[in-house]
């Protein structure tokens, strides 16, 4: 079991022990009297990677580019223990919720942009220590390759691959192999692991830029 980043702990909240970060509630998650809030791995691919013991390389305090932030469920936890956190989401409706989450987090910067077009936010995002990607679209590897320019040479890509977003009819393991193969054009794959039982037909990938 790899070490958790500083700012992420396993705590008993509401009679259940699991991952938690310390910060303002964001989506109705259980909290304790010390301001810790439960990070449910069934609602978070990165949470599932950490709960599964994958070595994400996160220590706490990193600058992060989060691709596919949606309404902010996972990225709110990331911003609790990281440094500046750039949250990219292309759908206007969830971005409204993301803006509410960011109001109480001065390190979280929402960007209404499409992760497939990083040139549209290249003037805003500084070099980052980690890219967290949870983008449910065809061409997930291509998104990671396109955003590689932001990642420091010693940084990490933490990616959740959703098989059904690539091909709903194909065998998930074959899809994972194809995505990882394309990803290898720009990244060295350090670890890959299925995210069951937390998420069906998802693969967690840890990689670093070549």
Query: Does the annotation list 74 as a binding residue?
Result: yes
- Asked if the model's pLDDT at residue 137 lies above 70, the reply is yes
Find the mean pLDDT for residues 40-44.
97
Query: Does the annotation list 102 as a binding residue?
Result: no
Find the mean pLDDT for residues 149-158.
98
Label residue 102 exposed, middle or buried (CB < 10 Å: 0-12, 13-18, 19+): buried
Q: Of 22, 46, 39, which is closest to residue 104 (Cα–Cα)?
A: 22
Domain ranges of the chain: 39-209
Q: Tell me if the bond preceding 182 is cis, omega within 30° of 0.
A: no
How does the average pLDDT of the chain come out, rounded?
A: 97
Query: Does the annotation list 182 as a binding residue?
Result: no
Class for the domain spanning 39-209: alpha beta
Q: Of 39, 24, 46, which is closest to residue 134 (Cα–Cα)?
A: 46
- Asked if the model's pLDDT at residue 1 lies above 80, the reply is no
Query: Does the annotation list 136 as a binding residue?
Result: yes
What is the DSSP secondary structure assignment for residue 83, as one 8-state letter?
S
Give CA–CA dist 186/203, Å, rounded: 18
Percent residues over pLDDT 90 in the chain: 99
Query: Does the annotation list 171 as a binding residue?
Result: no
What confidence category does residue 188 fall into, taking pLDDT thresholds of 50, 70 and 90?
very high
- Asked if the model's pLDDT at residue 160 lies above 80, the reply is yes
Query: Does the annotation list 154 as a binding residue?
Result: no
Find the mean pLDDT for residues 150-165.
98
Cα–Cα distances in angstroms (integers) from residue 74 to residues 99, 111, 170, 180, in the given order: 14, 15, 28, 23
- Asked if the model's pLDDT at residue 156 lies above 90, the reply is yes
Query: Does the annotation list 73 as a binding residue?
Result: yes
Q: Which residues pair with 3 in a beta bridge?
A: none
What confidence category does residue 42 fall into, taking pLDDT thresholds of 50, 70 and 90?
very high
Q: Of 2, 5, 83, 73, which is closest to residue 39 (Cα–Cα)?
A: 73
């Amino acid at each position: 079991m790899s070490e958790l980043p500083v700012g992420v702990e396993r705590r008993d909240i509401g009679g259940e022990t699991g991952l938690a970060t310390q910060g303002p509630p964001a989506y109705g998650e259980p909290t304790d009297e010390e301001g810790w809030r439960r990070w449910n791995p069934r609602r978070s691919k990165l949470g599932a990677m950490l709960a599964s013991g994958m070595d994400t390389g996160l220590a706490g305090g990193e600058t992060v580019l989060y691709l596919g932030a949606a309404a902010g469920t996972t990225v709110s936890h990331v911003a609790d223990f990281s440094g500046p956190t750039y949250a990219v989401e292309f759908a206007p409706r969830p971005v409204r919720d993301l803006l509410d989450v960011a109001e109480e987090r001065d390190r979280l910067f929402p960007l209404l942009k499409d992760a497939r077009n990083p040139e549209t936010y290249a003037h805003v995002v500084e070099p980052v220590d980690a890219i967290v990607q949870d983008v449910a679209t065809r061409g997930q590897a291509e998104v990671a390759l396109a955003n590689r320019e932001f990642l420091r040479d010693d940084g990490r890509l933490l990616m959740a691959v959703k098989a059904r977003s690539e091909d709903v009819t194909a065998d998930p393991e074959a899809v994972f192999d194809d995505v990882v193969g394309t990803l290898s054009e720009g990244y060295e794959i350090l670890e890959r692991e299925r995210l069951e039982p937390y998420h069906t037909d998802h693969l967690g990938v840890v990689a670093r830029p070549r």
